[in-house]
Structure 1
Amino acid sequence: MPESGFPSYIYTYTHTEDEASLCGMELRCLFGRVIPPMLFSSGIQVDVSRSPFIKERVDVMYAGDTLEEIYKQTEQVELAGQTFKVIFVKTNDLAPEHKVEYDERRAIEREIGMRIEGEADVNRPERVYGLVTLGGRWYFGTYHKNKATWLRQMQKPRSYSIALSTRVARAAVNMAVPRIPGVKAIDPCCGIGTVMVEALSMGIDIVGRDINPFIAAGARTNIAHFGFESTVTLGDIADIEEHYDAAIVDMPYNLYSSITPEEQFAILANARRIAGRVVIVAIEAMDEMISSAGFTIIDRCIAKKGLFSRHLMLCE
């Protein structure tokens, strides 16, 4: 562990311009604060592959004001016979005049590699270490890269055009369930199961429900296709009796269905009844209706895709 006063973890992240709002809210939910651009430190450990935006994480072992201090400390690394690799993290907050170019990054990696007693393996190392600079200091530690596991989940056997994108669904799950252990979640209007698949891929205990038998069957097919197990029941949200820690509610859209405002309100009121923390996804802001259902909106964002936008509202 790093000595007192050092950050425990340093993360880097990236997003498109359209995803800036979505990314910002997801990171606020995961880390409990507004996150600065590109990279940041935190005492909270988050699996980097949970987020569609986080790129990498360094678990800080050593810190120094200069590279020489880092070089000296890395001589203490113990590998227990394992092979290793050192990565200079490209994302940093260095001023343009202090930018470290490609050749110098490789030279720094080699310098550290020579000071670590063991066998380097750039192709299939058993341990990977990262070097990153943040706030004028250098940090070295175990390196973790996002495995982008959700990419395989983009190709579902059952799909339809208005389903949430995989990235939006994954971010919504992280907003609803920032801490996984012991949390029971539900998607009470689960559609073809996009949200459920993402939640299950993170190890979240989630069940689903949908009023449409054909759509519910599609959700079961998609969940099974990726090797996950969960329950998708058939029926109205009003008939749910169990209480859950969290829910993700992708509201049916007037644009594509015959749902009335009264039916929309009933979904919100029942979501308030069955869950303590709810992420509501809608094609428009629904502040008045959400408030009337007994919720307080504690955070919000807009996820854009071309001309189409979805509002995500975290409610308690």
Structure 2
Amino acid sequence: MENQSIEPNEYLYVYTKGLEEGSLCRLEQRVLFEQESDNLIKSTKMIEPNRSPFIKGRLTILYSGDSVEEIVEQVNHIELDNDTFKVLFIKINDLPKNQKVEFEEQRAIEKKLGWNIIGQAEMRNPDVLFGIVPFEGRWYFGSYLESESVWLHHAKKPQEYSTALSTRLARTVVNIAIPDPTAVRVIDPCCGIGTVLVEALSMGIPIVGADRNPLVVKGARENIAHFNYHGEVAIQDISEQEGHYDVAIIDMPYNLYSRATAEEQYTIIQNARRIADRVVILTIEDMDEMILKAGFTIIDRCVANKGLKALFSRQVVVCK
């Protein structure tokens, strides 16, 4: 494709989430983009779509206009050499009735744009995927990158606990804890079987793990190796942890085999304060008093529900 007259530096992120995931998704959005939305977020920040379980795709904006006809006039500038292409109308769920574009009209818009692009259309496996979407009264057109659900592949691990975080939640928590992984030192000092470690490592985020239970450390190492990632996991209690980190992620022990007493919980939080500047704590109990007593400030939070009836939920608390 020939160089465009403007440098693409704005993006539209297409979001989709379950009804029970609203609080968790909004916290991730606030951390990544400093804004919230049900369907679309416009930003100059470039984030890979597969980082988030909630991002369906990313549109790199090439053209915008008040109408489809304005977009049609602009796509005449696109010339593809030997690359094939496809135009996709990006479906947004839950739009108000007066803004919905019915299926037949969506297909008509795709064809109209396709006829004005100089190149060969290919519906199944195009070299270039273009997208068009209405947003806040305007139309946006650009190259579209669909998300790959990487975290789904991590759901089947060699070692698993029924009470472990889901890969979807773990990946979201990593994004909340580490919105920009550049030169950031990260630790999961109570890592269990390594669900958070696997998600972070799959995104290229260097993270170290530790746990005082030798059996779960063995399981964490096995899970990491199973997916061909490379990460350090030590047999170590958080009270013995040395060094200092920018971020720590802590899923507080709570099951029958590792449930911590109130004193042990407070010790974990105290040591988290000692070893890290920023901490994201996952807990099924209210720990605000402990967190504040340890010297943290709670800067944001959400509730992560499991299932529509919220029979089981965790608090995700961001502290510094």
Q: TM-score surpassing 0.5?
A: yes
Q: Distance in 2 between matches of 1:255 and 1:285?
A: 18
Report what 1:25 is aligned to: 27
> What SS is found at the alignment partner of 2:87?
strand
Report what 2:135 is aligned to: 134
Partner amino acid, structure 2, of 1:144 = L
Report what 2:15 is aligned to: 13
The answer to whether the 8 A contact 2:244-2:276 is kept is yes
Report what 2:85 is aligned to: 84
> What SS is found at the alignment partner of 1:167?
helix
**Pair 1:314 & 2:300 matched:** no
Q: Describe how 1:244-255 pairs up with structure 2 within 5 A.
A: 244-253=245-254
Report what 2:53 is aligned to: 52
Report what 2:223 is aligned to: 222
The answer to whether the 8 A contact 1:26-1:174 is kept is yes
The total of aligned residue pairs comes to 314
Partner amino acid, structure 1, of 2:124 = N
Offset of residue 7 of structure 1: 7.8
> What SS is found at the alignment partner of 1:82?
strand
Q: Describe how 1:79-158 pairs up with structure 2 within 5 A.
A: 79-91=80-92, 95-158=96-159
Q: Distance in 1 between matches of 2:230 and 2:207?
A: 10
Partner amino acid, structure 2, of 1:30 = L
**Pair 1:163 & 2:167 matched:** no
> What SS is found at the alignment partner of 2:119?
coil
Q: Describe how 1:170-181 pairs up with structure 2 within 5 A.
A: 170-181=171-182
Partner amino acid, structure 2, of 1:311 = Q
**Structure 1 residues 93 and 74, CA gap change in structure 2 (3 angstroms):** farther
Q: Distance in 2 between matches of 1:79 and 1:155?
A: 41
The answer to whether the 8 A contact 2:26-2:37 is kept is no
Partner amino acid, structure 1, of 2:34 = G
Q: Distance in 1 between matches of 2:255 and 2:319?
A: 22
**Structure 1 residues 93 and 257, CA gap change in structure 2 (3 angstroms):** closer
Q: Distance in 2 between matches of 1:93 and 1:165?
A: 26
- Deviations along 1:45-74, whole A, 9 cap, x unmatched? 211111111111111010101111100100
> What SS is found at the alignment partner of 2:247?
strand
Root mean square deviation of aligned Cα = 1.9
Partner amino acid, structure 1, of 2:152 = L
Q: Distance in 1 between matches of 2:89 and 2:304?
A: 32
Q: Distance in 2 between matches of 1:290 and 1:221?
A: 32
Partner amino acid, structure 2, of 1:47 = E
> What SS is found at the alignment partner of 2:121?
coil
**Pair 1:203 & 2:207 matched:** no
TM-score by length of 1: 0.95
- Deviations along 1:184-234, whole A, 9 cap, x unmatched? 211100000000001011110101001000000000000000110000000
Unaligned runs of 5+ in 1: none
The answer to whether the 8 A contact 1:2-1:63 is kept is no
**Structure 1 residues 66 and 143, CA gap change in structure 2 (3 angstroms):** same
Q: Distance in 1 between matches of 2:259 and 2:112?
A: 66
Identity over aligned residues, as a percent? 53
TM-score by length of 2: 0.93
**Structure 1 residues 135 and 168, CA gap change in structure 2 (3 angstroms):** same
Partner amino acid, structure 2, of 1:64 = G
Q: Distance in 2 between matches of 1:195 and 1:126?
A: 34
The answer to whether the 8 A contact 1:191-1:215 is kept is yes
| Structure 1, 223-232 or 240-249: larger mean CA deviation | 240-249
